[in-house]
Amino acid sequence: MSAYVVDDKTVNRILSFIEYGEAGVEGNGFLRNVLTRHHINVLDLAKLGKKMRRMNEDAVRQRYEKSTDMIPDFPFEFSLTPTPSPIQMLKSLGCYLYQCSEGNIPRRQLFRALRQAEHDLAYGIVVNLPEYDTADWG
């Protein structure tokens, strides 16, 4: 497995999804609720974005034995974006978590909270599909 530091756009999509809600997904606002239940502060999204970037950088350092060659030399820039679709959000979140899946990072509170959010989002997408609606119960 390789790892890299995701671009700011990926992190900002996740933060924008937290800020603007998740229209069209079962339980609108669930991402904010999942993170809050895991004691992640979602009131300062710029600070959360920096924390997410550091976690990603730590994963890359653990993967490449503390090498800084793969760590961008520019700070994270917070910027809210148009709300991504639930499918785009799921893919962006999956990419981010995959790049953070090195060393001891998966044991961190923030990682576990985002992994739970990823699972909840996937479930929310599926239960809103017409095919799910028409499938047999039982």
Give 118-128 pLDDT, tens digit per residue: 998 899 889 98
Residue 61 maps to a domain: yes
* pLDDT value of residue 15: 94
Residue 119 maps to a domain: yes
Residue 2 maps to a domain: no
Provide the pLDDT confidence category of residue 19 given band limits of 50, 70 and 90.
Answer: confident
Over residues 40-44, the mean pLDDT reads 94
* pLDDT value of residue 66: 64
With pLDDT > 90 as the criterion, what percentage of the chain qualifies? 67
What pTM was computed for the model? 0.89
Give me the long-range contacts of 4-8 (CB less than 8 A, separation at least 24): 4/60, 4/70, 4/99, 5/53, 5/56, 5/57, 5/60, 5/70, 5/71, 5/72, 5/99, 6/56, 6/95, 6/96, 6/99, 8/49, 8/53, 8/76, 8/77, 8/78, 8/79
How many domains would you assign to the chain?
Answer: 1
Residue 74 maps to a domain: yes
* Residue ranges making up the domain that contains 122: 8-134
